[in-house]
């Protein structure tokens, strides 16, 4: 095959232009092989596929490969001249904590005076420039495109959320990671992975692929923490709140305004709340130290870190009602948040929880979410989250299966999320605590494919203002 000048790498046939390379990916729902002819009609001159089409066209170069996903990832890295090798790239994987750890590390390294990049669920940051995120782990082309923009902007460190979907679909192949973090693993994404062991093994494969020059940091409070390190060539480091670890933290004091932590031998006050955030802060401290920052500088900056949008965001009404908005959308995350609130509250005030489950997602967690909310709250209100293409009532019905007879009296179902939040506000009195769970930073509702603006924090503020004026 002679050298061919190409314009761009594309996996979406609709975006093909003259002299592009088309990757015929076999996706979760769509097979790119069906669109090869369309790609050629639009100008593609190179086709990369797992199965050669019957109709081979003259003047077109076909490259048959074992895995198109892997080929795309490696070619994308090469196309942008391997930007990940020119910076310190750190990947964070696990069910919970990815966004918080990645976002706070971005904050911390900015405070330390570095140019920093962030690839997260919430947003993509090229130093100070923000771009919209569409997936937890973007596609291979987008990753390398943004990493290349980071290099152009002089970024030296990038913190990246790494999802199990992203690993499984080979989006992280061809990237040069300097470190990997494992937070925990719980019931999530089993609609995609089918079994827990497959979900766990996919996470582990990320650590298996780390080079000996990198570090692998794992939470050994999680029973799968050591499992992640079994075959890695990377330098092994551990963190924990309960067990013995390289980085050990003890929670000394809890308030709604923050937490006093003892990290190894040094105390630090942080603005974040709860056991899970104590664990996240431990990971952040460990990463910063492993990347060469000085211990006391790290601790000083940690005390200044602000909570991530949609993660335990707290507002207090003029009447003294505390509202907390949190992204908790898995049984484990919801349990963590509710237990944290219950540990801090005095006991006489009510804890009212508004919780929903997303449509077209793992159905197995619906009854568990409802059970946890009703068990650990004074009053639980079940409502819609993002039903997507599912019927909202069906989702709530499936949640209600988890309500036991002793919790039935303190459970209410309200189909409309806005009304559910209003009802929670009306139920509350001075000192009571409202938890609005499930959506967090997401500022939309998606019903039958239509997205409309909906922000939990805005809704709570509006309710508080309306009640104040009455």
pLDDT in tens, 288-318: 999 999 999 999 999 999 988 888 889 999 9
Sequence-distant (≥ 6) Cβ neighbours of residue 382 within 8 angstroms? 355, 356, 370, 373, 396, 399, 400, 411, 412, 413, 414
The secondary structure element, H or E, covering residue 129 is: strand 129-132
* Confidence check: pLDDT of 335 > 80: yes
Task: Identify the pLDDT of residue 136.
Answer: 58
Sequence-distant (≥ 6) Cβ neighbours of residue 22 within 8 angstroms? 10, 11, 13, 16, 32, 35, 36, 39, 40, 44, 46, 47, 48
Q: Closest by alpha carbon to 418, among 453, 391, 368, 389?
A: 453
- Rounded to two decimals, the pTM is 0.83
Q: How far apart are CA 87 and CA 17, in angstroms?
A: 31
The whole-number average pLDDT for the span 50-57 is 94
Question: Are 260 and 277 within 8 A, CB to CB?
Answer: no
Q: How far apart are CA 43 and CA 21, in angstroms?
A: 9
The whole-number average pLDDT for the span 6-33 is 92
Q: How far apart are CA 368 and CA 362, in angstroms?
A: 11
The secondary structure element, H or E, covering residue 436 is: strand 433-437
Percent of the chain at pLDDT exceeding 90: 78
The whole-number average pLDDT for the span 225-254 is 97
The residue extents of the domains of the chain are 9-66, 81-302, 313-468
Q: How far apart are CA 283 and CA 269, in angstroms?
A: 16
- Torsion angle defined by CA atoms of residues 451, 455, 459 and 461, in that order, rounded to the nearest 10 degrees: -160
Task: Identify the pLDDT of residue 346.
Answer: 85
DSSP string, 11-23: S-GGG--TT-EEE
Residue 259, sorted as left (phi over 0), alpha (psi -120 to 50) or beta, turns out to be beta
Q: Where are the alpha helices (DSSP H) in 362-404?
A: 366-376, 392-400
pLDDT in tens, 354-403: 999 999 888 999 999 999 999 999 999 999 999 999 999 999 999 999 99
Task: Identify the pLDDT of residue 193.
Answer: 47
Sequence-distant (≥ 6) Cβ neighbours of residue 185 within 8 angstroms? 94, 95, 199, 200, 203, 222, 224
Q: How far apart are CA 379 and CA 400, in angstroms?
A: 14
User: CATH number of the domain at 81-302, out of 3.30.1490.20, 3.40.50.300, 3.40.1190.10, 1.10.510.10?
Assistant: 3.40.1190.10
CATH architecture of 9-66: 3-Layer(aba) Sandwich (3.40)
* Confidence check: pLDDT of 188 > 60: no
Task: Identify the pLDDT of residue 2.
Answer: 54
How far, CA to CA in Å, does 463 sit from each of 8, 53, 194, 249, 326? Answer: 50, 59, 40, 38, 17
CATH for 313-468? 3.90.190.20
Task: Identify the pLDDT of residue 441.
Answer: 72
pLDDT in tens, 134-179: 665 688 999 999 999 999 999 999 999 998 888 888 899 999 999 9
Task: Identify the pLDDT of residue 187.
Answer: 59
Task: Identify the pLDDT of residue 333.
Answer: 87
Question: Are 208 and 232 within 8 A, CB to CB?
Answer: yes
């Amino acid at each position: 095959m002679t050298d061919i000048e190409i314009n761009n790498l594309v996996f979406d046939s609709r975006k093909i232009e003259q002299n592009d390379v088309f990757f015929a990916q076999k996706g979760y729902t769509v097979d790119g092989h069906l669109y090869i002819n369309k790609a050629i009609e639009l100008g593609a001159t190179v086709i990369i596929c797992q199965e050669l089409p019957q109709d081979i066209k003259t003047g077109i170069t076909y490259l048959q490969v074992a895995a198109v996903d892997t080929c795309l990832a490696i070619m994308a890295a090469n196309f942008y001249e391997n930007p990940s090798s020119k910076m310190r790239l750190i990947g964070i994987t696990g069910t919970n904590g990815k966004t918080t750890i990645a976002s706070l590390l971005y904050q911390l390294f900015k405070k330390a005076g570095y140019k920093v990049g962030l690839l997260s669920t919430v947003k993509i940051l090229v130093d100070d420039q923000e771009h919209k995120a569409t997936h937890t782990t973007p596609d291979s082309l987008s990753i390398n495109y943004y990493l290349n923009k980071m290099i152009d902007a002089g970024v030296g460190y990038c913190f990246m959320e790494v999802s199990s979907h992203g690993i499984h679909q080979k989006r992280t192949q061809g990237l040069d990671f300097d470190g990997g973090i494992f937070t925990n693993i719980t019931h999530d994404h089993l609609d995609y992975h089918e079994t827990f062991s497959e979900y766990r093994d996919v996470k582990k494969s990320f650590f298996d692929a780390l080079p000996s020059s990198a570090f692998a940091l794992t939470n050994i409070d999680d029973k799968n923490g050591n499992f992640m390190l079994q075959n890695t060539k990377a330098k092994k480091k551990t963190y924990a709140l309960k067990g013995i670890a390289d980085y050990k933290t003890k929670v000394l004091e809890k308030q709604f305004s923050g937490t006093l932590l003892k990290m190894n031998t040094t105390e630090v006050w942080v603005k974040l709340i709860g056991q899970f955030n104590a664990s996240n802060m431990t990971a952040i401290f460990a990463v910063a130290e492993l990347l060469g920052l000085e211990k006391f500088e790290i601790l000083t900056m940690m005390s200044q870190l602000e909570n991530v949008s949609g993660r335990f965001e707290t507002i207090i009404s003029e009447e003294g009602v505390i509202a907390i908005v949190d992204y908790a959308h898995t049984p484990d995350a919801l349990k963590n948040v509710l237990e944290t609130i219950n540990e801090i509250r005095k006991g006489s005030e009510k804890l009212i929880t508004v919780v929903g489950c997303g449509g077209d997602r793992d159905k197995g967690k619906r009854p568990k979410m409802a059970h946890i909310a009703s068990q650990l709250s004074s009053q639980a209100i079940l409502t819609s989250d993002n039903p997507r293409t599912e019927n909202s009532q069906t989702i709530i019905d499936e949640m209600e299966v988890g309500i036991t007879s002793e919790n039935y009296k303190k459970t209410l179902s309200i189909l409309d999320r806005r009304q559910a939040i209003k009802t929670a506000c009306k139920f509350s009195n001075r000192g009571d605590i409202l938890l609005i769970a499930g959506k967090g930073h997401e500022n939309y509702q998606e019903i039958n494919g239509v997205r409309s603006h909906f922000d939990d924090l805005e809704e709570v503020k509006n309710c508080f203002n309306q009640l104040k004026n009455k």
